[in-house]
Amino acid sequence: MGNTDKVSLDKQDFGSDFKWGVSVAAYQIEGAHNCDDKGLSIWDVFTTVKGKIRNGEHANVSCDFFNNYKQDIDLIKKLNIPNFRFSISWSRLLPDGKDRISQEGISFYHKVIDYCLESGIEPWVTIYHWDLPQALELLGGWTNREIVKWFSDFVSLCAASFGSKVKHWMVMNEPTVFVGAGYFLGIHAPGRRGLKNFLPAIHHTVLSLAAGGRVLRTLLPTANIGTTFSCSHIEPQTTAKRDKQAAIRVDALINRMFIEPILGLGYPFDDLPVLKKIKKYIKEGDKEAMIFNFDFIGLQNYTREIVTHSFLTPYVWAKIIPANKRKVPTTLMKWEVYPTSIYEIIKKYNAYPQINKILITENGAAFQDHVLENNEVNDVERTNYLKEHLAQILKAKQDGYKVEGYFVWTLTDNFEWAEGYYPRFGLIHVDFNTQTRTIKNSGYWYSDFLK
């Protein structure tokens, strides 16, 4: 990584209205997988399938946020972080996915929200962060068009339960990832593969995203309503025409497939022709039903991808050149460390005039972290990563691009989906055997910066 001694950052340069925060997700931190009457989620089930998760790990306990939420919110306060983004477990509120409501589940999130507010921390709630109730997956999950109603009802329950206390809402987290990895590649829950699952799941997710936005707008007219998208800056490996065209297709798949229909631009059929097969799932009135005017869009960026043409990859005819093959600095996730990517992503989404406001709702890095004998975690690489990315965000802001907030991924080390507990992203180290929390030097740096 570059030398960050030259990176001079002052919180004031971002403006007094800039939102600073930290992000987490329910399944990754809560544990208490069978506490009270919580139902199974697709991740509760997927983690029991042999060979799906590194070392056969699961999040049945994880950081045990369910029992440690006060301690963790105290740490957020100690680190001077004013905004806390967390998600609501669908199957904790609706154990069967629909109809039967868990009062214990509702009570838990009231306790979390109340303790945030008592601590002077603003809650930002993500309604769906990948943990679909298994009962709904057995009915087809995101491939079943009925999910638009199921999801709308879940959003209604969240709004009715917590809307008097929560001002900031995000409808979904990274649809490209949960649909692509879960319903096409099969490497995430629920482990389905192929176009026959992928295409209907894309369309029903888009319809649900917009429907969820409309439910919130109707029930909570003064709320700040957004949603989040994962984005990677895409570049062709060479200037050859076929590499450039491959990069355009990958960009359409990764960066445009969900946001453009929401903005009223439709699916990027011309740049990703395989998407035309989605037309058989589009019904009369869907084009309008796919559109919603969000108050803000959350962008989540970690890296860039270099793309080359490939005859061997069906549908996109492109492949990503792994960062380790390119001999560039990487994180533990084997993602390239390329801070300019976040500038390019902000610039790219600023080109959509339909977007009102942009926040970076996730950015962070996983490295090998160890607690030293003096109880210190000297994670200099993560501190440098955060500084360099913030410098690029500031540059984007100074260049006149809209960007109005930054949330670090993540608060505590946690369960990182298919990678289990190997990659540690937290500002706070967790010993998963003892649940001991140790603030890393990156956490202290962020705290000092925010102070």
Per residue in 148-191, pLDDT tens?
999 999 999 999 999 999 999 999 999 999 999 999 999 999 99
Say how many C-beta atoms besides its own lie within 10 A of residue 77's C-beta. Answer: 17
| pLDDT tens for each residue of the chain, 451 residues long | 445 456 789 999 999 999 999 999 999 999 999 999 999 999 999 999 999 999 999 999 999 999 999 999 999 999 999 999 999 999 999 999 999 999 999 999 999 999 999 999 999 999 999 999 999 999 999 999 999 999 999 999 999 999 999 999 999 999 999 999 999 999 999 999 999 999 999 999 999 999 999 999 999 999 999 999 999 999 999 999 999 999 999 999 999 999 999 999 999 999 999 999 999 999 999 999 999 999 999 999 999 999 999 999 999 999 999 999 999 999 999 999 999 999 999 999 999 999 999 999 999 999 999 999 999 999 999 999 999 999 999 999 999 999 999 999 999 999 999 999 999 999 999 999 999 999 999 999 999 999 9
Q: What phi and psi, each to the nearest 5 degrees, are found at residue 378?
A: -90, 75
Give the residues across from 298 on adjacent strands.
228, 359
DSSP-derived pairing of the beta strands 168-173 and 122-128: parallel
318-320 and 296-309 beta bridge pairing: antiparallel
* Two structure tokens written together for 325: 């093959």
Question: DSSP letters along 163-221, please?
Answer: TTT--EEEEEE-HHHHHHHHHTB-SSTT--BSHHHHHHHHHHHHHHHHHHHHHHHHH-T
Place of tokens 């450039």: 244
The pLDDT score that the predictor gives to residue 3 is: 53
Q: CA-CA distance, 108 to 67, in Å (whole number)?
A: 10
Radius of gyration of the chain (CA): 21
Peptide bond into 190 cis (omega under 30): yes
Residue 183 has, within 13 A of its CA and on its CB side, a CA count of 24
Q: Are 130 and 178 in contact (CB under 8 A)?
A: yes
Pick from 174, 182, 222, 162: which is nearest to 361 by CA? Answer: 174
Question: Which residues, in sequence order, are bridge partners of residue 319?
Answer: 308
C-alpha 267/C-alpha 257 separation (Å) is 6
**Per-residue pLDDT reduced to its tens digit, 84-115:** 999 999 999 999 999 999 999 999 999 999 99
Distance CA(23)–CA(62), nearest Å, equals: 16
Half-sphere exposure of 362 (CA within 13 A, CB side): 27
Query: CA 86 to CA 363: how far, in whole Å?
Result: 15
Contact at 8 Å (CB) between 5 and 445? no
Distance CA 434, CA 163 (A): 35
pLDDT at 86: 99
- Tell me which fold the domain 4-450 belongs to: TIM Barrel (3.20.20)
Nearest one of 354, 424, 340 to 390, comparing CA atoms: 340
Nearest to 321 by CA among 311, 310, 332, 329: 310
Query: Under 8 Å CB-to-CB from 308, ≥6 apart: which residues?
Result: 236, 237, 238, 243, 246, 318, 319, 321
Can you point out the beta strands (E) in 255-370? 296-309, 318-320, 358-362
- Which residues carry out catalysis? 174, 362
Predicted local distance difference test score (pLDDT) of residue 8: 83
For the chain, how far is it from start to end, CA to CA, in angstroms?
Answer: 26
Sign of CA dihedral 180, 183, 188, 193: negative
CA distance 150 to 307: 38
Instruction: Say which DSSP state 334 is in.
Output: S
